[in-house]
Structure 1
Amino acid sequence: MARAAAFLTVDVAGTACAVPREAVREILPLPRLWRPPGVPAALAGFFNLGGAAVPVIDLAALFGLPAEAGRPMVYRHLLMLGAEAPLALLVDRVSDLVTVAPDAVNPVAPGTALNGCVAAEVRVGERLLHGLDIRRILLAEERERLDAQTRAAQARLAEWAA
């Protein structure tokens, strides 16, 4: 018997998405970010988490969605991912934690979304949400560039350490 699936429902520039609960380590309010010059628009910046430079990816910018006018940055949330390398996703709002039956999660056809980052349609009541595959949010080349930017940000933090 298939088990129910748990998802965080999030808003990304007015688009309802579902993120698998097991992919998210914690939800944080938006801290102060620093953004080096010349980084891609999708890299919202970095923040210092216990001496580690954590990159923040703005999902709206990454997906090419227009920012919602009037939404202050201060009310946005970060999804800290449970990966070996620290990474946070910036969303407009985390609205709920839902559990859905297995038949409420339907895979989308391959090639429907860039790199397969939208892996499923998730039905929550009458709403249909884009089920995101966190492992496919970034292309391999983007991940390599992000890793290089993160190493540079970590080196900058180390320069200022006691």
Structure 2
Amino acid sequence: MQISVMLNGKKVTEEIKSDLLLIDFVRNHGCYSVKRGCETSNCGLCTVFLDEKPVLSCSVLAARADGHAVQTLEGLQEEAAEFGAFIADQGAEQCGFCNPGMIMNAIALFRENPDPTDDEIREYLAGNLCRCSGYEGQLRGIRAFIEYKKQGGAVCR
């Protein structure tokens, strides 16, 4: 079957097998920030935006993205770099494996709720597995980023 997807702002048309997962489609197109972790929708490593909403690409057939926009971390470099510096400053990027999924979900959070409570942050990031940090560094980084925005930092979309 043939699909056409806007992948990080570029139209990609390709003949695919009907059982191809979205994670494999984006990785086949050089989007290596999208990681394969659990393959059971439990770790958040494969998070992408499908029409601006975070989805777990290991659980979505590529055919479902036909006619839609898909964004990966590669397509969100400016937002990701700005926020990622706050995560790094808190020492919450120890091995870095979870960072792409964590950053994707944090960007989605900031877009939906620019001033979340700590409980809302925890709830939003609950599906992201991080084996190194215990999540407090990420929480501190998100809080610091939100304060930065309140003080006049650049605005996330």
Flag the structure with higher strand content: 1
TM more than 0.5 = no
User: Who wins on radius of gyration, i.e. which is larger?
Assistant: 1
TM-score where L is the length of structure 1? 0.29
- Give the structure, 1 or 2, with the largest relative contact order (CA under 8 Å, sep 6 or more): 1
Flag the structure with higher helix content: 2
